[in-house]
Amino acid sequence: MLKPAPAAKQPGSWLGVYVSGRNAMISNVLPNTPAARAGLRASDLVLAVGGHSIQTSTELIAMISALKPGTAVELKVVRRSSRRTPLAIRVVVEAKPGPSEMLRRRFLGEPAQDFDLPQVDGGVVSLRDLRGEVVVVEVFASWCQVCKSTFQTLSELSDRGAVVLAISSEDRAKLERYVRKTPPPFPVLEDFMGRVQRRFDARQVPLVLVIDREGIIRHIGVGGSIEELDRAFEATKRALLATTRA
């Protein structure tokens, strides 16, 4: 379920990995993170942190989060290639980035996955068909008050030549009521079951993406803070300028 973007708070430490299931098996290692620098790999199973045995991903996250940034800790892991022989891997943890920074580390500079979504007012919008345009996407929810204010900024980007799309996983009836009551000046798309939102790891709203004419993500961030909106605005202006010069 989508949640409003939280206010900034003091982060704990992190490794820079995703863990899957109940156990502490690493499913993905993010680049340029403590885990990547230490040589951790996807499918590594973490058995212990600093000599303390763990069995679940919750325990792994809690123990790493409790460490002071800059702390060196030894992880005991089992790797498929090691024939179940545990390995000792030393990791220096660092402060966990905020939600926007985590998304930027993962998605910036990567191609945006194509999607085809029905428009609430009728028709289908395909990201593929918009190649050659600068596209700004906001993942929103009808109950999100911050989203309404970000729509005002996005309408300015639309006036400057960007194609703006609003995406929500709410049901069609709710979106139709929303559009009738407060119609935004750009298409509202229905993302049934949130399939497209999950591609961008959209767990909070609003989430804004800027995609250049080549289909590359040039900005991604959550929340309606002035800083985040400025980032989106500047990324869009740069992309539009590059389009003009092409």
Q: What tens digit of pLDDT does each residue of 203-230 get? A: 889 999 999 999 999 999 998 888 999 9
In DSSP notation, the chain reads --EEPPPP----EE-SEEEETTTTEEEEE-SSSHHHHHT--TT-EEEEETTEE--SHHHHHHHHHTSPTT-EEEEEEE-GGGTT--EEEEEE-EEPPPHHHHHHHHHTTSBPPP-EEEBTTSSEEETGGGTTS-EEEEE--TT-HHHHHHHHHHHHHHHTT-EEEEEE-S-HHHHHHHHHHS--SS-EEE-GGGHHHHHTT--EE-EEEEE-TTSBEEEEEES--HHHHHHHHHHHHHHHHHHHH-
Those residues with Cβ within 8 angstroms of residue 213's Cβ, 6 or more apart along the chain or in another chain? 131, 132, 133, 134, 239, 242, 243, 246
Q: What pLDDT does 245 receive?
A: 46
Q: What pLDDT does 185 receive?
A: 87
* Residue 138 · residue 147 · CB < 8 Å: yes
Q: What pLDDT does 1 receive?
A: 52
* Residue 93 · residue 67 · CB < 8 Å: yes
Q: What pLDDT does 105 receive?
A: 85
Place of tokens 């990547």: 36
Q: What is the pTM of this model?
A: 0.77
Torsion of CA 69, 100, 202, 171, to 10 degrees: 130
Instruction: State the pairing for strand pair 204-205/3-4.
Output: parallel
* Residue 161 · residue 237 · CB < 8 Å: no
Q: What pLDDT does 4 receive?
A: 55
Q: pLDDT of the chain along its 246 residues, tens only?
A: 555 545 445 568 999 998 987 889 999 998 889 999 999 999 999 999 999 999 999 999 999 999 999 999 999 999 977 667 899 999 999 999 988 988 998 899 999 999 999 999 899 999 999 999 999 999 999 999 899 889 888 899 999 999 999 999 999 999 999 999 988 889 999 998 899 999 998 888 999 999 999 999 999 999 888 899 999 999 999 999 985 544
Q: What pLDDT does 187 receive?
A: 94
